[in-house]
Amino acid sequence: MTDTDLSSMKSRLERALLESRTFPTWHLFTPRNKFVTGIVADITGETYFLKVAAKTPPNYEGSDLANESYWNTHAYSHMVANGFRIPSTIKIANDGSWALFEFLEGGQLTEDDLEENLHDIARLCACIVEIPLQDDDIYQKPNGLGAWCENRIDRALGKSDNHPFSKNQTYMMRRVLKNADQLVRASVHGDVNLKNLIGGRELGLVDAEFGVTPQRSGWGNLRYHDAAYFYHLLHCQYHRPDLAEKFLEHFLQEVTFDLIDDVENFEYEFYTSLLERTLSMGNHFVWNRDPSKEVDDPRRTEVGPYLEIVERSLDVLVPVK
């Protein structure tokens, strides 16, 4: 990041501070890929979390900030009523270039915190599934999720034939995921992982940039997306398949099934999401990875756990007769 980039970011940050009527003082000032973040105080001494788009219009990620604000607002009362913390939106710029959120006290969970918090994380994922929907019909209409899944398959396979998937496996992936539009969708946070989980007496959840709600569904997500994603992280990133299975047990204890169909279809829906999430990590696969790019955790590049998940998902989704 150049001095010019930092100077430009500082100018946008100062503008956001001025517009949001906070003092131009902050700590934990952190330039990230898409945002500049900082903890700020206003004239009353209240503390907030400020996020500013790191790029100038029209290329900044303003839609992500608007989406995060919308998801938090939609999910807030339900999540808080069930013992979880979600940051409320204090103020957001009209163009979405910055947003001021409630600051959640506590630190990000780490890998060392997994076992102690595993049941609470499973309960949080179940709670998200149960966020009330205002219009169920929106989630019964095809909206491009099948095409998205097709793109994820192409991304996982890469541009050469160096991938380890057989023709039969590739065929089954496409056969299963092209029908994703027909499955039940719901409100989804989209990025439940350790860096977005805040420890404390009550677990906190932040960074809903990829959140999906009935009114802003985009291409949508399947209702068990968040649970499947966290299961995938436990298995493929942290190499803890034992914790992945324990997490799934906890999730099944906590999630509410309204209909017999929900129980009967759970495995199919869950493993469809798990397959999609695993294939979405295709840029980490060794046959696709750009060696010039650093990886924050080398375990992400070990292909074995990904292949195990793909094979298990296909065994569930396309059982051998």
Q: What distance in Å separates the CA atoms of residue 143 and residue 56, rounded to the nearest whole number?
A: 30
Residue 58, preceding bond cis, omega within 30 degrees? yes
Handedness of CA 45, 46, 51, 57 (dihedral sign): negative
How is residue 76 written in tokens?
Answer: 């807030």
DSSP of 89-120, one letter per residue?
Answer: EEEE-TTSSEEEEEPPPS-B--GGGHHHHHHH
Q: Tens place of pLDDT for every residue, the chain, 321 residues?
A: 444 555 565 666 667 766 776 655 555 455 556 666 777 767 677 888 888 876 655 555 567 888 889 899 999 999 999 999 999 998 888 888 888 899 999 999 999 999 999 999 999 999 999 998 765 555 556 567 888 888 889 988 987 788 889 999 999 999 999 888 888 888 899 999 999 999 999 999 999 988 887 555 555 678 999 999 999 999 999 999 999 999 999 999 999 988 777 888 999 999 999 999 999 887 778 778 777 777 777 888 888 999 999 999 999 999 765
AA letter at 202: E
For the chain, domains (ranges, CATH) are: 3-102 (3.30.200), 111-317 (3.90.1200.10)
The β-bridge relationship of strands 89-92 and 47-53 is: unpaired
pTM: 0.88
